Amino acid sequence: MALRTRLCEMLDIEHPIISAPMAFAAGGRLAATTTGAGGLGLIGGGYGDADWLECEFAEAGNARVGCGFITWSLAKRPQLLDVVLAHNPVAVMLSFGSPMPFARPIKAAGATLICQIQCMNHAREAVAAGADIIVAQGAEAGGHGLVRATLTLVPEVADYLAKAASATALVAAGGIADGRGLAAALMLGADGVLIGSRFWASSEALVNPAFQDRASAADGDSTIRTTVVDIARKIAWPDPFTARVMKTRFVEDWHGREAELAEPAAVDREMHRYVSAMQRGDPDNTGVWVGEAAGLIKDVRPAADLMREIVRDAEHLLRDRALSLVRAP
């Protein structure tokens, strides 16, 4: 048995799995490995650094990969889209802002336009922009997002697309880390999944092992949605987005005290604390960017091994367990 959905046909991939373009974590090696294992890997464009992007596309070699951008940040450096399009990406993903200014050049370059959304208004905007693929991201996801849960957002978007844009493929994201999540997403009406946290805890991710170890020892209750990690980094994320990170000492020191943290003396001091701890691999005094799927992560392994396991387990669940639950009257 092999899982084949229209996402596979659209992206010319073997498995309906995309690795998330996680800022600072999803480099060329992770993207290329994901693609080599039968999915599609996306390099994380993050807040925009042309030299970093060039380096990571070089790291990906000749692999078929794509790239993802934080859309409101890309709007400040729109030339970065040209940098990426020059590498002939399979797809470009836009998240956290209107895709309208960038949709036309992406599609004109022959790349697949992926729009990540967190609510129904975002979904309608993505359809208006001509999205080829919509990623419905639930609040369980690590990093930035809103408040809708994957379990209800995905089927609601599926119903909407069936009426408004039936040619647009749907991908589920948020809390999906194993074969159970992939199988469930397909049953909810998705054509595939976008996986972040589980690939964040892979050998190829650009993540300090100390942070991966902390997440692997945690459960999903160990994460929280907060803004303190953005205040401390002096990154002005637009309302109403918040970030899901682990409840580290840094986060617990300041969550609920955001106004105090934003005071000039405090934020200068705490930014130094945050950045230096990130650089030296001290998870207590910085942000650890992982979602509720932390409770499903028990180890750090090569991304190709994770891909094979996720697909194998999903196939088993859909072939054997699903049938075992259906009884003749």
Q: Which residue intervals of 41-176 are DSSP H helices?
A: 50-60, 71-74, 79-85, 100-108, 120-128, 150-164
- The predicted-structure confidence for 256-288, as pLDDT tens digits, reads as follows 999 999 999 999 999 999 999 999 999 999 999
Tokens of residue 5, six digits = 């959905």
- 1 and 186 Cβ atoms separated by less than 8 Å: no
- Residue 327: pLDDT over 80: no
The percent of residues above 70 in pLDDT, for the chain, comes to: 99
Question: Using CA of residue 216, residue 218, residue 221, residue 225, what is the dihedral sign?
Answer: negative
Would you state the structure tokens that stand for residue 20, as one six-digit string? 């998330």
Cα–Cα distance measured from residue 217 to residue 209, given in angstroms and rounded to the nearest whole number:
12
- 196: nearest Cα among 80, 68, 48, 53: 68
Whole-number average pLDDT of the chain: 97
Entry pTM? 0.97
Q: What confidence tier does 1 reach under pLDDT thresholds 50, 70, 90?
A: low
What mean pLDDT is predicted for residues 230-254? 98
Give the model confidence (pLDDT) of 4-41 as tens digits.
999 999 999 999 999 999 999 999 999 999 999 999 99
As a whole number of angstroms, the distance between CA 172 and CA 184 comes to 10
* pLDDT > 90? residue 219: yes
Other CB atoms within 10 Å distance of the CB of residue 1: 10
- In the predicted model, is pLDDT for residue 136 greater than 90? yes
- Say whether pLDDT at 328 is over 80: no
Residue 69, beta-bridge partner list: 94
Q: Which residues of 59-96 are buried (b: 16+ CB within 10 A; e: fewer)?
A: bbeebbbbbbbbbbbbeeeeebbebbbebebbbbbbbb
The pLDDT tens digits for 178-201 are 999 999 999 999 999 999 999 999
Whole-number Å distance between alpha carbons of 43 and 25: 9
Predicted local distance difference test score (pLDDT) of residue 261: 98
Query: Which CB contacts under 8 angstroms, 24+ apart, belong to 147-153?
Result: 147/225, 148/118, 148/119, 149/174, 150/174, 150/175, 150/176, 150/185, 151/188, 153/118, 153/119
Segment 61-87, tens digit of pLDDT:
999 999 999 999 999 999 999 999 999
Block residue for tokens 């397909």: 186
Name every residue whose Cβ is closer than 8 Å to that of residue 81 and which is 6 or more positions away in sequence. Answer: 69, 74, 92, 102, 105, 106
Determine the average pLDDT of the residues in 234-241.
97
Mean pLDDT of 137-142: 98
DSSP state of 253: H
pLDDT higher than threshold 90 for residue 234 = yes
